[in-house]
Amino acid sequence: MSGQTALGRAGAAGRGDLAAYARLAKLDIYDYYLGLLVVWALLASAVRWKPQTLGLLALTLAAEVVVVAAMVGFDDVTGYRDGSDAANYGSDAARRRLARKPLVAGTLTEAQALRFSWAATVLGSALWAAVVAVAPHRPVWAVVLAAVCVAASVQYSWGLKISYRGFQELFLIGLGVGWTLVPYALLTGGASGFVIVQAVLFGSGPMLFGLYSNTNDADGDRAAGRITVATLVSAPAHRVFVAAMTAAQVVLVAGATVTGVAPWWFAVAMVPLVAMRLAHLVIGFRGDILRARRIAIHAHRVTVVLLVAADLTAGALS
């Protein structure tokens, strides 16, 4: 009986370890991966269902997931070492789920997190190399952009520590843009202006909800030496910055339609997105930052739904 109990405890511990690694990899945050749905919808109907297309998208998804696991793993190690995670998550653990930070919660050691992050770096790099190798097209700019995205992701909070040097906001939008344009170009050989517009619209989503995180984390980030717009300017000035970035997304939609880069229906299809952007902006200005962040996350996901539906409809009509 005691042996069975010991085995049961060992099994439970093993399951707990796996859960802790899943939280370290932030597998519940899938927003960057949704760009592959937009890529798929943008493809010509004759290409979408080809086994080669679906296989490449599946391999790309695996590469993205593993690289993000490395990125957030290193980010957690750095945040644990400099105390910013303890400061940012300790005061409102009920709302931000302290368990999502396994080093601070004590469910993983720093050594375990480092081994995981380095292993994910190696595997993610190999997977991206495989994506490029089997792709039907390999434009030089797309191959270079893929390499830059991988290198920048791993060094987001490690090595060059991009997010600590004042480039966090640029990285957040750039990764989404890159991970939309690269797989599309690898499948088709290029990217039109309208594809670029959709990539920027998609990439700006994580940047916008990241700005609310930065607002909430400003004191902890400032104490840790992490340079973001929120740590450099006053709270009112940062609200203006958030408003300007939100307005820029709306201007992108309207401007692309007016200039003919996007078809006439594009602005109409994005009206629900504009409404959600206005909602989280107002709520954020009122001071409920974490609620505004949640709405901004939902707005990003709604953006994907709208883009996929519009692209599929446009493709069917054409």
Delimit the domains of the chain by residue range.
19-190, 192-317
Over range 221-232, report the average pLDDT.
91
Confidence of residue 9 (pLDDT cuts 50, 70, 90): very low
DSSP-assigned letter for residue 282: H
Spell out the residues 6+ positions from residue 253 whose beta carbon is closer than 8 angstroms to its own. Answer: 201, 262, 266, 267, 270, 273, 274
- Report the alpha-carbon distance of residue 166 to residue 209 in Å, rounded: 17
**183 has pLDDT over 80:** yes
Q: At residue 28, does pLDDT exceed 90?
A: no
For residue 192, is it left (φ>0), alpha (ψ between -120 and 50) or beta? Answer: beta
Question: What is the tens place of the pLDDT at every residue in 56-92?
Answer: 999 999 999 999 999 999 999 999 998 888 877 765 5
Report the CATH fold assignment for 19-190. Answer: Tetracycline Repressor; domain 2 (1.10.357)
Count other Cβ atoms within 10 Å, centred on residue 161: 17
Contact 267, 253 (CB under 8 A): yes
Lowest mean pLDDT among 48-57, 92-101, 152-161, 170-179: 92-101
Answer yes or no: CATH 3.40.190.10 is held by domain 192-317: no
What's the pTM value of the predicted model, to 2 decimals? 0.88
Mean pLDDT along residues 210-222: 89
Please tell me which residue, 200 or 11, carries the higher pLDDT value: 200
